[in-house]
Structures are given as structure tokens and as C-alpha cells.
Structure 1
Amino acid sequence: MDHLISLLSPIPPSDRWWSEETTAVVTGANKGIGFEVVKKLLKLGLTVVLTARNAENGSIASDSLRRAGFQNVHFFCLDVSDPSSISAFVSWFRLNFGILDILVNNAAVSFNAVGENSIREPETIIKTNYYGAKLLTEALLPLFRRSVSVGRILNISSRLGALNKLRNPSLRQTLESEKLTYEQIDATVTQFLEDVSRGTYEKNGWPENWSDYAVSKMVLNAYSRVLARRYDGKKLSVNCFCPGFTRTSMTGGQGNHTAEEAAATVAMLVLLPPEKLTSGKFFMCVEPNKIISRL
């Protein structure tokens, strides 16, 4: 069942549980939604680590924020598709911060233009959009602050990854299962890549539009649900959010709303007071200031 949520009201001062000591990590944040999320969290008074796979672009982005007066922004070059880069980042973060409160897995790639539907470099897309977020999350899990507050993970996803896009009933049944495991998710990824290699992915019922991107987000959603179940009652909230058709470089500047509007919703979701937090949910923006919450 869907639940419409209005976001017209700003976060009241009484709900502000965070401080300058609260630390957030945002991946893929040198531009677009990621950059606006960093800016929004800085405006609200948090300490934010901006990451980007390109060192020059990331430095330019973080420097621009410092010039704008935000001194609690830090940059580290991170390519989530590279396990060694993840390891280096986690070591640096542990040494310099030690404790993490919020992780926004925003980094993602797609090689299709709007209105185009082809498969290009599916391994790269899966490696970045799914395995990158998964490996980084798993590496950072021990660092989440869960003693006095609730750790928050928000994976930026897409409605293209909704299970109703999956036309294969057997695969859909697997991913819908309440007993879904990490191994089954990874086996699904392997099967998709094998079907792409054989040229049978359309016949075997995979999503029709932006197939590789859609599958990467579908398994990210599935991973998020399993992770939420794993940490149920253990002060860690794990959710997904589809920002909708947003004007960014990935959409060629097309969209129904701005990256800044999407970022405001991301900030609201990760800054909910502990008593209002949910976990294992998929949130989807249906129009500016309104989202749908879906199990």
C-alpha cells in the first residue's frame, strides 16, 4: 500500500536532533543531486564528507562550498566501483572521523540518453550502482553511531527498479520473498549479465526500459530491504528514495524538478527524528514536496 506524505512544512526546531558533530557521507557529490544534498546538509549545520571519483571535480565542488562559507565540508576521492578505493576511503574516514551518522549512496552511472533504450557496459553499471553501494555500506557499517542515536542509510534509487517492471514471474517471486538473501540477489545479477551476454535478456522477461540501469536499481532496492531486516531493532534505518525525473546531467537537463528540490527531500528523509524513522521502505517523489512511501 502507498502512503502519500506532504513535505510542505520545514523541519521544526524541536525535531532537530543533529549538531555539528553529526557526520554524513554523500557519494557521487561533485554535481547534480549529490552536490545539492551536501549543500543542504551543510546549511542545516552538519559536517559532510563529499566524495567523487574524479579528484579534480570533487576538489572544485568542495572548494566552491568553502568559498560560500561552509567550513564543515571535507572531500575524499572515492570510486565506488573500485574495492581498493573503498578500502582507502574507509581507512581515511575511520582515522579522521571515526563515527558515521548518515550515508547517502548517490553515486550512479547510466549510458542511455532520455528516450533511448540500449544496453551499454552493463557490468560497469551493475558494479557501480549496486555493488559499489553495497561494498561501501558493508565497509562502513561498523562505524555507524548507534549508541545514542539511529544510523541512517539512504540509497538513491529509481522507479525503473520497481518489481512491477520485471516481466519474469520466477525472478519477481524471488526478489519479493520475505526470506530473500544476499546470495539470491547476487545470483539474480549474474543471471541478468549472462542473459545480456547471450542476447536473451528481453525474451527472459527483464525490464524493457533502460534494462541494465533498471536491474541495478532493482537489486539495490532488494539489498536495502534485506539489510533493513538484518538491522531491525538495532538502531540503523535503511531506505531507498527515487527522486523522480530530475534535471541533471544524467537526464540531459530534462526533468520535472530541480536537483535542489530533490536534495531537500533527501535531507528531510535522513534527518527525521528517531521516533519518526522507518526502515526497509521505498520512497518515491510524485511531485515537488510530496512523496509516496512504499513497502
Structure 2
Amino acid sequence: MKSVLITGANKGIGLETVKQLSRRGFFVYLGSRDIEKGNVVANELAMNGFVNIRPIEIDVTKPETILSAYSIIQKEYGHLDVLINNAGISGIVPQNSLETNIDTYKEVFDTNLYGVIRVTQTFISLLQKSAEPRIVNVSTSVGSLALQSNPEWPAFDYAKYVVYGSSKAAMNMYTIHLAYEMRATPFKINAVCPGLTKTDFTNFNGGEVDVAANRIIKYALIDESGPTGKFFSEETNPEVGEIPW
């Protein structure tokens, strides 16, 4: 049975990803920065027939919780097959380049970039014990420099999220470098935009959460011939999925 750790998984797209991977036979570590919320969700899932789901405390801004989660998974499972870096925040809105306080940048980057780096660097040794290690960094088309600077892009005139977009663009660059450094190994590492989705993150605007989760799972399950070091948004480019950085 393959194992997966999903950060920020007690609600929204992360929670739906937990459900779908449980149905696919994974042992799922449901990462939650508030373990009480994680326990409540896991109990509800169990009552609804979901199996092999283990809530685990992990706050990507707190290294001690990441190390604790690592120790638990190492002891219980011994390796990790898939890491889905899903935890993320948008920061206050609206955001603009000249007025948004630097403290907002620090807060958002601490989760969206530094959190991904902390978790990935900590769990890489457990992933290296897998025959088919996969990392999915949950991103957004708002983090694409090419799209955000294209006047013909349908979302060009939408409200800009300068802090959120900058943090995801930085995470995308980290994904590129990580995939390059691991290119000679079995790792497959990609950035995936699940699309605008009906969750509290978007004030419940957008598409269905099961569709978004499936977009993430697709790249968690790719075989050895699959892509690595790429950026995918099937909402933006339904035909081939890949979008420009």
C-alpha cells in the first residue's frame, strides 16, 4: 500500500484529495496544523466508510511540527511515496504593489514558499525510499509570469493578488530547481494548479472540489514515463494541461 502526506488537508481541496486517494488504496496522512480539527475530520471520514486515514499535526510554518510528523511517519510506515504540498494562504485582500505591508508578504511567503521548502527538505529522505516518489506542489495560474503579463489572458483584468501570486511564482521556481536536481532519479516533481474551486479559500466561487482534487491526483499517480519539472493547469489549458511559467 502506497503512502501519501497531504498538508493543509482538513478542509477544501486537500480534504477531497484525502478522500479520493483513500478510495484508490493509499494510506493517507491527513496533515492539519490544528490536530483537533484533523481528528474531527478523520473521525467523520471513518464513519462514512473511508479507511487508512491518519490525522497528523503539521504546521508548515513550525519546524518542530514538521519534524514530529516526520518521526511519526518514519516509525509507522518507514517511507513516503507521495508528498502533496497543499497548505497555502492568500493573505489579506485586496493586495497591491505599492500599499500592501511587507508583513503580509512575510506571512504569505512563510507558508506558501518557505513551508514547501521546509516540508520537502525534511521528508526527502523518506521519499527516497520509495520506488516511485512523487511530489506535487499545489500552485495557481496566478503564479504564471507569462499569463499574468499577457493582456489577452481572460483573467488579466481581474483583481491582482500581488502577494499571493508572488509567493506561488517563487514556489514554482523552487519546483523547477528541485525537479532539475532530482532529474536522474525516479522522482517526478510538478506544480499543479487545481483551478478556481468552491472552497472557503475562494468564498465558494468556482468549480467543484472533486474536479480540482482529481487534477492534483493525476500528477501524484504518473508513471515513470510521466513529466517532471512542469507546470499544469487543466482549467487554463484543457487540451494538454501544461501552461507557461
Structure 1's unaligned 5+ residue stretches are: 1-20, 168-207
User: Is 2:127 the partner of 1:117?
Assistant: no
- Deviation of the 1:268 alpha carbon: 1.7
The structure 2 residue matched to 1:280, chosen from 209, 229, 233, is 229
The one-letter amino acid of 2:56's match is F
The structure 1 residue matched to 2:116, chosen from 113, 133, 157, is 133
The one-letter amino acid of 2:50's match is F
Asked if the contact 1:112/1:210 (under 8 Å) is kept, the reply is no
Secondary structure (helix, strand or coil) at the match of 1:57 reads helix
- Deviation of the 1:254 alpha carbon: 0.8
Separation in structure 2 between the aligned mates of residue 291 and residue 104 of structure 1, nearest angstrom: 22
Taking structure 1 as reference, are residues 74 and 291 closer, same or farther at Cα in structure 2, changes over 3 Å only? farther
Taking structure 1 as reference, are residues 42 and 288 closer, same or farther at Cα in structure 2, changes over 3 Å only? farther
Partner deviation per Cα, 1:213-261 (whole Å, 9 max, x = no partner)? 1111011000000000000021111100011111111111111x11111
Secondary structure (helix, strand or coil) at the match of 1:24 reads strand
Taking structure 1 as reference, are residues 85 and 139 closer, same or farther at Cα in structure 2, changes over 3 Å only? same
Separation in structure 2 between the aligned mates of residue 85 and residue 146 of structure 1, nearest angstrom: 22
Based on CA coordinates, which of the two structures has the bigger radius of gyration?
1
Looking at both structures, which has the greater relative contact order when contacts are Cα pairs under 8 Å and sequence separation is at least 6?
1
Residues 9-20 of structure 1 correspond to what in structure 2 (within 5 A)? none
Secondary structure (helix, strand or coil) at the match of 2:241 reads strand
The structure 1 residue matched to 2:8, chosen from 15, 21, 28, is 28
Partner deviation per Cα, 1:107-147 (whole Å, 9 max, x = no partner)? 0011345xx33536221110001000111001100111556
Which residue does the alignment assign to 1:164?
A: 146
TM-score (norm: length of structure 1): 0.73
Separation in structure 1 between the aligned mates of residue 143 and residue 134 of structure 2, nearest angstrom: 21
User: Is 2:198 the partner of 1:218?
Assistant: no
Which residue does the alignment assign to 1:227?
A: 178
Asked if the contact 2:16/2:210 (under 8 Å) is kept, the reply is yes
Question: What's the RMSD between the two structures over aligned residues?
Answer: 2.0
The structure 2 residue matched to 1:266, chosen from 213, 216, 220, is 216
The one-letter amino acid of 2:195's match is G
Separation in structure 2 between the aligned mates of residue 83 and residue 126 of structure 1, nearest angstrom: 15
Residues 1-295 of structure 1 correspond to what in structure 2 (within 5 A)? 21-113=1-93, 116-118=94-96, 119=100, 121-145=104-128, 149-164=131-146, 209-255=160-206, 257-275=207-225, 277-286=226-235, 292-294=241-243
Secondary structure (helix, strand or coil) at the match of 2:192 reads strand
Total equivalences in the alignment: 230
Structure 2's unaligned 5+ residue stretches are: 150-158
Structure 1 residue runs of 4 or more that deviate by more than 6 Å after TM superposition: none
- Deviation of the 1:71 alpha carbon: 2.2
- Deviation of the 1:290 alpha carbon: 5.6
